[in-house]
């Protein structure tokens, strides 16, 4: 999956309307998500004009509300069910979201008095097509205040999977998988880490500055800026004072936004100046531009994606960063590639489409849209993409397969299946990797893995393969 990027300049949208009400704005986003199949990132981009019109303090509350409700939705729904006079599925979607917003403020935001949370939520119902339900909303919230122990949690002894699922607001099928694979204690730690608010991690652009120079440049824009020792060139922004896209250092192309795990995948790839590279699923170009920086903007990178708008944004991002070695091409790996149209490459990166279950802490909406059956479908597509790309790797060239997922069907199983069919490829020996900062993240099997509960990064898997002949 493509890396998380900064929000681009908003596109004109007549449906956007300015508002100074963080709660109303949050409700609008939640309703949009309920009524379409778009991701949260996509909806936020569409509503950028409305969001940017919020005062700074309201924008912070807006983010807390949207991400918080999506992160804790299952637990909030259990509380609603425990206090409502009707079943959850009989409550209108708008009223459900209004109740979720109110309960989230009561249960998770200490700075908002409970009485204020109730009053503002009732007022929200009265002004947003739910006036008739205002009394019902008031009754549910006040009942939850009077009886906070009535939380709707399944009994931990009788139903440990259900208890962990609801208490940590994670889909039951996913909790069941994690307990089976990791055991109950580690699965609980993973759930807690997924629900933690992730840090804002930046990638220094060495074409324009050093990490220490970037720390100095960003000092006025955040309470604190810290280098991340485990990831060369990565920084953490502590309590930013303004939006990323409003920072001068961003406008000057001195950094990108990218999680440490995604940065490590590019370091595992280990490109060299002057080489010819292929980024086969480039997306918005988070890894593409990182590879160009590691190559000192010398060589050639062909970036493929089947979505033209993503490639256009990749080109814009490359210009911002001062990169000119990237050539974009529209291509769909679901169809055979024409070998005569592409050279043999020194290195190929397949950052494959996947379930995205390793980045739930950044995309909490995906908790409720991902399905167990999706994993097998993604694995089949990943295997198909590897088949398409294998012939394009030069002898002694490198093929890196990466996914933002921790699920074995999308990880070891895909690579093992590929190696059985392609004995001329082998997992690269650790000694061949120049970037030694990778070593702590490589297992005895040679696979790269990160996880939120062990590395405080997104959950990624990668395999570095060499074509022997």
Which member of 36, 281, 404, 469 is catalytic? 404
Phi/psi region, residue 6 (left: phi>0; alpha: psi -120 to 50; beta: rest), is beta
Strand partners, 234: 203
H/E stretch holding 263 reads helix 260-269
| Beta-carbon-side half-sphere exposure of residue 150 (alpha carbons within 13 Å) | 13
> How far is 120 from 163, CA to CA, in rounded Å?
31
Q: Annotated catalytic, 281?
A: no
| Phi, psi torsion values for 47, nearest 5 degrees | -100, 20
DSSP states along 108-145: H-TTS-HHHHHHHHHHHHHHTT-GGGHHHHHHHHHHHH
Pick from 356, 344, 447: nearest CA to 394? 344
DSSP label at residue 91 = S
> How far is 115 from 127, CA to CA, in rounded Å?
19
Contacts 24+ apart (CB under 8 A), 436-441: 437/230, 437/231, 437/232, 437/264, 437/267, 438/264, 438/267, 438/268, 440/230, 441/264
> How far is 114 from 73, CA to CA, in rounded Å?
19
Pick from 321, 339, 369, 357: nearest CA to 209? 321
Compute the C-alpha angle 144/148/152, nearest 5°: 80
DSSP label at residue 446 = S
H/E stretch holding 52 reads helix 48-52
Q: At a CB cut-off of 8 Å and minimum separation 6, what does 159 contact?
A: none
Coil vs helix vs strand at 290 = helix
Active site residue ranges: 404
């Amino acid at each position: 999956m493509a890396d998380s990027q900064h929000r681009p300049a908003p596109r004109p949208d007549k449906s956007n309307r300015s508002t100074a009400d963080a709660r109303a704005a949050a409700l609008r986003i939640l309703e949009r998500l309920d009524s379409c199949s778009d991701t949260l990132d996509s909806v936020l981009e569409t509503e950028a004009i409305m969001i940017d019109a919020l005062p700074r303090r309201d924008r912070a509350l807006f983010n807390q509300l949207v991400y918080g409700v999506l992160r804790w939705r299952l637990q909030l729904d259990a509380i609603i069910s425990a206090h409502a006079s009707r079943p959850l599925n009989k409550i209108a979607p708008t009223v459900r979201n209004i109740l979720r917003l109110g309960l989230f403020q009561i249960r998770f935001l200490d700075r908002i008095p409970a009485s204020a949370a109730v009053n503002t939520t009732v007022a929200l119902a009265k002004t947003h097509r739910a006036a008739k339900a205002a009394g019902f909303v008031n009754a549910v919230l006040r009942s939850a205040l009077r009886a906070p122990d009535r939380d709707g949690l399944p009994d931990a002894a009788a139903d440990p999977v259900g208890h962990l699922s609801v208490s940590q607001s994670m889909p039951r099928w996913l909790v069941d998988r994690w307990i089976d694979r990791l055991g109950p204690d580690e699965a609980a730690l993973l759930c807690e880490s997924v629900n933690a608010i992730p840090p804002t991690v930046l990638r220094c652009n060495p074409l324009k500055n050093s990490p220490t120079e970037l720390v100095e440049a960003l000092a006025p824009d955040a309470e604190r800026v810290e280098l991340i020792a485990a990831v060369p060139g990565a920084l953490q922004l502590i309590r930013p004072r303004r939006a990323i896209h409003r920072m001068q250092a961003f406008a000057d192309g001195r950094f990108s936004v990218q999680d440490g795990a995604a940065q490590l995948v590019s370091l595992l790839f280990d490109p060299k100046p002057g080489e010819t590279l292929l980024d086969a699923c480039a997306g918005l170009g988070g890894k593409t531009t990182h590879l160009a920086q590691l190559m000192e903007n010398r060589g050639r990178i062909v970036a493929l994606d089947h979505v033209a708008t993503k490639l256009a944004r990749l080109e814009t991002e490359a210009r911002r960063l001062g990169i000119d070695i990237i050539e974009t091409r529209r291509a769909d790996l679901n169809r055979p590639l024409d070998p005569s149209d592409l050279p043999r490459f020194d290195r190929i990166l397949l950052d494959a489409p996947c379930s995205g279950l390793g980045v739930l802490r950044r995309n909490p909406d995906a908790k409720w849209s991902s399905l167990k059956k999706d994993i097998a479908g993604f694995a089949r597509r990943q295997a198909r993409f590897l088949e398409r790309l294998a012939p394009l790797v030069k002898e002694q060239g490198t093929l890196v397969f990466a996914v933002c997922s921790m699920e074995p069907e999308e990880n070891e199983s895909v690579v093992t299946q590929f190696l059985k069919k392609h004995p001329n490829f082998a997992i690269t020996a650790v000694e061949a990797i120049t970037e030694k900062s990778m070593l702590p993240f490589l297992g005895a099997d040679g696979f790269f893995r990160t996880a939120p509960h062990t590395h405080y990064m997104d959950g990624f898997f990668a395999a570095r393969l060499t074509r022997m002949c």
